Structure 1
C-alpha cells in the first residue's frame, strides 16, 4: 500500500492541539510513522538515536513544509496514545495530488535512511528534501510543456534510469540529456507542426558529438496526464533513490512557484507517445557556426523538420548507452 493510501485511512484529530497527531506505523520503516494533524495535513514522524545534533539545527518553515527537530508529540495509534520526541515534517496542503507528490518524495527519503538512523543521519538526509521544497518558492525556469515533453521521453524509454542519469541537473543547460558524445534535445509543439526553435549551439555541436532531436506533439486536454501522473509512471520503473530525488528536485526547480497551478495542466498522452520522432542534428537546416560573427552569441532560429526523414535509434551506430536506452 502506498503512503497516500495509508494516510487517507487515518482519522483527523478533533482538536486544535498542534502537537497531537493520529498516526499509523509504517512496517517498511520501523523508525517512522505517517500521521495527520488537526488541519488534515500529512505529517511524517521520524524517531532517531539521540546524539545532540538537533541542538545545532534550526527549524524550517517554507510555503509547503514545516520541519521541526526533536519535538515532543502526543501520538494516537491503534486507540492508544504515547508521548515521545520526533523529527516532524508537516506538508501544508490538503490537496490530494500535492500530498501524493510530497509523500512520493518522503518515501525516497525514508528508503535512504538506515533502520536505526541517528539524528545526524536524518538531518543530512533532510538537506535535499528541504532544497526540493525551497525550490517551489522560486521563479520557474522552463515551461510546463517543455518539462512534460522531457518526462514523457523518459517514461517511454527502454531504460528510464539511463536517461535520468544524463538528465540536466539545472533546466537552463544547453541539452536536456547529455552523455558527452551523445546528446538529446527534446522539442515540443502544441500546434501539431514540427517547427521548433533551436539555439546555434544545439545544432552545431563539437565534431565528436552526435545530437539527436526528439520531436513531440503536446496538446492540452482535460482527460490527459499531468506532470505528477508521469512522475508516478517513471517512479514505478526506477529503483535508485538518488535518481528519484533528482527527478523531484528538477521538477520542483523547473516549475518553481507555479507548481500548484501548472501541475493541473494535462496533455494528450497517446498523441505525445505516438508522435515521438527522432532526428539527427546534421539533417536539420540551421545557421552554421562559420556564419556566426565572433562577438555574436545566443543565436536562436526556427527550423522546420516536416520534410526531414526521422531516424530509428535502434539502427544508429553508437558506442554509448544513452541512445541505446532511449
Structure 2
C-alpha cells in the first residue's frame, strides 16, 4: 500500500499540534499523507472553500479525529508553508490498524474529483466516519466467525460475487444471500463438524436452496489473520462500493475488538483443506411444524460428521452465488 509506505518514511515533527511532516500523493494531487507530533497518521485534504465547513462539527472518536478548515504548518521536501486543510487524524501507533485505516482512506480518495469542494469532501467521508464510530460498539460476532466468512470469500472463484451477496448486518439469518441461493458459514475450533443452527437456517422454504459451509478454524501463530485475508480479497475487487462494503462490515462486526481481531491468526491450510459444503435439507433438524407458533429464536446443535458433502458445481441454478464457490476436495 503506497500511502502506508510514504507515511513510514516520514519523521515525527519536533513540536506543535498543527505542525506536520508531509508528502503529496501523486495519485491524489489534492491530498497529502502526514505524520503529527504523536507519530500518528494524518491525511490532509485541500478543497475549494464553499462555507460548508461552517455547518459541520469537528469529530472526536476513539481512533479518529476530523477537523474542518484547519490552518496547518506543513513541512515537505525541506520547505515549510501554511495552508488550510480538512485534517483526518488516526490515533493509533499500531501498524496493522494504520494499514486498515489507509486502505479505507485510499478507497475514499478515489471517489473525490481532482479539485473537490468542501461539500464533496464532507459527503464522501460521512460513511468513513460511521465506520470508525462503530469501533466503539460491542462486537457482533466472534473473530473466528468473521475470519471463516472471509476465508470463504478469499478462496472463492469470484470474490466480488461473494462480497456483493455478503450480509450487511451480522444479525441477518444467512451470511450470504442471493434470494434463491443462500450460504451459512459454520466454523469449529475443535476439528468436529458439530455446529449450532437456528431453526430458520435449516427450515428454508422449498424454493430456496441453502448450503452450509463448514470449516475448521484453529488458531496458529504462523497462520493468517483477518488483515491478511482482507489484503488478499482487496486485490480481487474492482468496484469501490464493494471495497467500502468490505471495510464497513468488518468494522461493524468486530466493533471494539477490531485491534485484537485484525491480529489473531488461524491456520490457513487446515481451514482451506477442511472446507466442505452441505445441503441444509440433509442436516438433522427440528422441523418447523413441530415448533409452536409462540416459540421463536430456536437454536440447536447438529452433527454433520456422517453427512456426505455436496459439490456446489453440481447444483443447477441461474444464480451466480454457488457458481462462484470453488470445488471442494
* TM bucket normalised to smaller: over 0.9
SS in 2 for 1:239: coil
For 2:4, the equivalent position in structure 1 comes to 4
Cα offset, 1:46, TM superposition:
0.5
Give deviations 1:220-279, integer Å, cap 9, x for gaps. Answer: 011111111111111111011111111111111111112222322110011111111011
Identify the residue that residue 114 of structure 1 maps to in structure 2: 113
Residue 164 of structure 2 corresponds to which residue in structure 1? Answer: 165
| Residue equivalent to 1:181 | 180
Partner of 1:249, secondary structure, is helix
Deviation sequence 1:101-136 (CA, Å, 0-9, x none): 100111111111111111111001111000000000
Q: CA deviation at 1:171?
A: 0.6
Q: Which runs of 4+ in 1 moved over 3 A?
A: none
Q: Which residue pairs with 1:128 in the alignment?
A: 127
- Aligned partner of 2:65 in structure 1 is 66
Query: In structure 1, what is the Cα distance between the partners aligned to 2:269 and 2:8?
Result: 31
**Other-structure match for 1:229:** 228
- Which residue of 2 is the match for residue 250 of structure 1? 249
Unaligned runs of 5+ in 1: none
Q: Which residue of 1 aligns with 2:50?
A: 51
Alignment of 1:192-203 (within 5 A): 192-203=191-202
Q: Counterpart in 1 of 2:211?
A: 212
Match of 1:291 in 2: 290
Cα distance in 2 between the residues matched to 1:261 and 1:226: 10
SS in 1 for 2:125: helix
Q: What's the CA shift for 1:12?
A: 1.2
Secondary structure, in 3 states, of the residue corresponding to 1:230? helix
Output the CA distance in 1 between the equivalents of 2:179 and 2:271: 27
Name the residue aligned to 2:318: 319
> Between Structure 1 and Structure 2, how many residues are aligned?
325
Q: Deviations over 1:175-229 (max 9, x none)?
A: 0001111000000000001110000100101121000000010000111111111
Q: Secondary structure at the match of 1:157?
A: coil
CA-atom RMSD in angstroms: 0.9
- Give SS of 1:30's match: strand
Instruction: Tell me how far apart the structure 2 counterparts of residues 283 and 113 of structure 1 sit (CA, whole Å).
Output: 50
